[in-house]
Amino acid sequence: MKTGTIGRSSNNELLDLIDSTSTRLAKLARDGAPEGTVVFARQQTAGRGRLGRQWVSPPNSGIYVSLLLRPSQSLGELPVITLGIGVAAAKAIFATTGLRVGLKWVNDLVFDGKKLGGILAEMLSGDRQQPALIVGIGINTRFSSEEVPQELKEKMLWLEAATGTPLDTNHLAAELCFQIESIYELMKLGHTDKILDEWRAFSITLGQEIVCTTPVKEIRGTAIDVNSTGALIVKTATGTEELVGGEISIRTASGSYC
């Protein structure tokens, strides 16, 4: 470990089996766990992805971790932290495997058009004097074909398949904590412009034709940038839209969206 805070708490946990690392860490946060506390699990039975989806978490097939941040920034700045965690994950993967993954807005980790991992950040309601941001991260490391649900076989990938070599998951976990701490320190110093520039460098979304589905409408256009708060700026037929949430798909060479 090369960190000063992330992963250094005496409240850290490594569990063989849990419903959700984020659910567990939320309880620890409410009980007063300090910033930097992490909960790892070898298997989750109810891991959560974005928009209420289940995160497939079979035993010893991925890094399933949630970490606790207690940011002093306003709620309006928190999406930049989320983008920054994506940058940290991409840099950790590159440092340990040499694989350069892409970031799909909001924060999917993607390689060769398939999903390698994802990030879900949730702010706990309650004590304003002691805010708690739970950041859940799932990175697929090794799967067997029978562990992959049929509906995901053409959509997901894991690191050992992408690199063709075995992966030291302890090394990746330690590097992930280090890269997250580095990004978070930039955030606390107000260097959000640097974080966003790094996200742009990893982005597979910018410059692409996308469709975004929200609870109230569908938006089609070209993703042209992210603004200072992390919103995606999309040029449409009628102007520009700034997306702060929703599900996006990117147009492929065949004309379909994925």
Alpha-carbon span 127 to 30, nearest angstrom: 9
pLDDT of res. 257: 59
82-130 tens-digit pLDDT: 899 999 999 999 999 999 999 999 889 999 989 999 999 888 876 666 7
What tens digit of pLDDT does each residue of 178-223 get?
999 999 999 989 899 999 999 999 999 999 999 998 778 889 999 9
Structure tokens at 158: 């894991």
Q: Which two tokens stand for residue 175?
A: 């590097």
State the fold for domain 209-250. SH3 type barrels. (2.30.30)
Task: Using alpha carbons only, give the angle 91, 201, 235 rounded to the nearest 5 degrees.
Answer: 140
pTM for this predicted structure: 0.92
Mean pLDDT of 13-30: 94
Round to whole Å and give the CA distance between 162 and 94: 12
The predicted structure's pLDDT at residue 74? 65
Structure tokens at 10: 């005496």
From the candidate CATH numbers 3.30.930.10, 3.40.50.720, 3.30.9.10, 3.90.1300.10, the one assigned to the domain spanning 13-202: 3.30.930.10
pLDDT of 134: 94
The answer for 36, left when phi > 0, alpha when psi is -120 to 50, beta otherwise, is left
Which pLDDT tens digit goes with each residue over 155-177?
Answer: 888 999 999 999 999 999 999 99
Which pLDDT belongs to residue 130? 74
Domain edges within the chain: 13-202, 209-250
Averaged confidence pLDDT in the chain = 88
* 192-202 helix and 78-97 helix, angle to the nearest 10 degrees: 50
Neighbours of 69 (CB within 10 A): 25
Tell me which residue of 111, 113, 108, 83 sits closest to 225, measured CA to CA: 83
What are the residues whose beta carbons fall under 8 Å from the beta carbon of 8, sequence distance 6 or more?
1, 36
Rounded to a whole number of angstroms, the distance between the first and last alpha carbons of the chain is: 37
DSSP label of 157: -
E strands along the chain, which residues? 13-15, 38-41, 62-69, 102-104, 108-111, 114-123, 133-140, 209-213, 218-226, 232-236, 239-243, 247-250
User: Could you give the CA distance from residue 154 to residue 157 in angstroms, rounded to a whole number?
Assistant: 8
